[in-house]
């Protein structure tokens, strides 16, 4: 079953260790900016077998705005109708808009924590 998760709810789950977050954007998008603790799994490669371990945790899919991650949720639900999977409403954009930090990797390759919606944090 596909369910929706707000940025606030996802933050709560991640802080409590209750969720596995899968970022379905392309690798270059993930490298530029991602939510700490997320796992990169581009949409084209999403299958139940490719998922990271999530036993006992909520499985949350995420992209830039929520559309590709919803597609990933639908792919997984079709493959396994008994799977509960969450879509981050509004994607990483809603995460940043809520004021939550992301990890960015500038051109020099040194990862840093970025302020929400800062220039170059998209």
Residues identified as active-site: 63
Rounded Cα distance between 48 and 120, Å, is 33
What residue spans of 20-118 are helical by DSSP H? Answer: 27-32, 67-79, 91-97
Q: Three-state DSSP class for 45?
A: helix
């Amino acid at each position: 079953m596909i369910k929706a998760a707000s940025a606030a709810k996802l933050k709560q789950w991640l802080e409590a260790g209750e969720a596995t977050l899968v970022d379905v954007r392309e690798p270059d998008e993930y490298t530029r900016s991602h939510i700490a603790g997320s796992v990169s799994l581009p949409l084209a490669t999403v299958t139940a077998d490719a998922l990271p371990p999530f036993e006992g945790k909520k499985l949350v899919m995420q992209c830039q705005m929520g559309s590709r991650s919803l597609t990933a949720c639908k792919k997984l639900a079709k493959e396994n109708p008994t799977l509960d999977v969450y879509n981050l409403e509004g994607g990483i954009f809603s995460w940043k808009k809520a004021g939550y930090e992301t990890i960015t990797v500038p051109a020099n390759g040194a990862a840093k924590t970025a302020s929400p919606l800062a220039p170059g944090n998209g």
